[in-house]
Every structure is written in C-alpha cells, then in structure tokens.
Amino acid sequence: MTPISILFVCMGNICRSPLAEGIFRHLVTEAGLTGRFTVDSAGTGGWHEGEPPDRRSIATAQSHGIDIAGQRARRIRPTDFNGFDLILAMDRDNLATLGKIAPPEANIRLFGDAALGTGEDIPDPYYGGPDGFELVYTRLLTGCSSLLEALGVERASCSGNTSSVR
C-alpha cells in the first residue's frame, strides 16, 4: 500500500508547520499507522533554511511529549507539488503563495478547511509569547486528529494503491 503523503506549509517553516508535522507524526505513531503516512513540512520563504524550529515551538511540542528539535526548515520545492498527495497551508497568505507557484494538478488546501472544517487561518505565533504557541498547538492537534481519522478511514475503505485524498 502506497503511503499517503502530507506536507504542512507555513511562511518560514519554523513555527506552525513544524508543529503540525510533529503532531501528525506523533498521532500516526500512536495509532500504529507509521507505514501508512509520509509527513513533512516546508515554508513558502527560505529565510530559515537549515535551521531548527523556533525554540518556542520546540518547547511547546516538548511540553506535550513531542520532539521536533531534529527538524530543519526548508523552502517548498517544485517537486513537492507532485510528490505530496496533500499540501496543507496554515493560512490564506501561504495558500495564495502556493497557488501562484503550483501546477494546476497540485492538491493544495487550507488546513482550516481540510483538517478543522472551519475555514480558519492558523495564526502565526512568531511575534507573540508562549500563549500563542499553545493556542496554535491546540488548533493543530484538533485538526491533525480529525485529519488522521478521516484519512485513516478513507484509506481503509479504498482498494489497491489508490487514495481518495486528491
């Protein structure tokens, strides 16, 4: 069975998307579904390429038993658009940026639509304090849990190597 591949995207790949990647990966592991998903994160900008996530993202994840310290920021690549089944933008600005550079067949969605069903943006906590990171964690955990449940059920109901994620 071909794994479902998901890419979480924010602006610099140091706050929201690494948290989303870490949370989703943790949930997948807890559910015993490690081989069924490929998970990564990227940024629309390259300012932080090669750097670890923001220390506040690392601390927030760690306080919930998730280690994201080994992740490194990267910028989205052209190959990502065909290499991932689902690309989830954290907010409308990043969604618009991705839409300008992606081929038409790329499956790009707003995290707030695909995972939360609310259409909300996940706010960038970069210029705030720890409370903002905790709020982002809570929204991402809710969305990632719903997404895993939907994709796990969806994949289980599919036959062969196809996925109805697209």
Each residue's pLDDT tens digit, 100-138: 999 999 999 999 999 999 999 999 999 999 999 999 999
List, in sequence order, every beta strand (DSSP E) within 64-106. Answer: 86-89
Domain ranges across the chain: 4-157
Task: State residue 154's pLDDT score.
Answer: 58
Q: What is the pTM of this model?
A: 0.92
Task: State residue 152's pLDDT score.
Answer: 78
Task: State residue 166's pLDDT score.
Answer: 40
pLDDT of 164 strictly over 50: no
Which pairing describes strands 37-43 and 108-110: parallel, antiparallel, or unpaired?
unpaired
**CATH number of this structure's domain 4-157, picked from the four choices 3.40.50.2300, 3.40.630.30, 3.30.360.10, 3.40.50.300:** 3.40.50.2300
* Least confident among 107-111, 142-146, 157-161: 157-161
pLDDT tens sequence across 4-61: 999 999 999 999 999 999 999 999 999 999 999 999 999 999 999 999 999 999 999 9
Instruction: Give pairs for 120-126: CB < 8 Å, separation 24+.
Output: 121/90, 121/91, 121/92, 122/10, 122/16, 122/20, 122/90, 122/91, 123/91, 124/10, 124/11, 124/15, 124/16, 124/90, 124/91, 125/15, 125/16, 125/56, 126/12, 126/14, 126/15, 126/54
How far the first Cα of the chain sits from its last, in Å, is 16
Catalytic residues: 10, 16, 124
pLDDT tens sequence across 64-109: 999 999 999 999 999 999 999 999 999 999 999 999 999 999 999 9
Return the SS3 of 124. Answer: coil
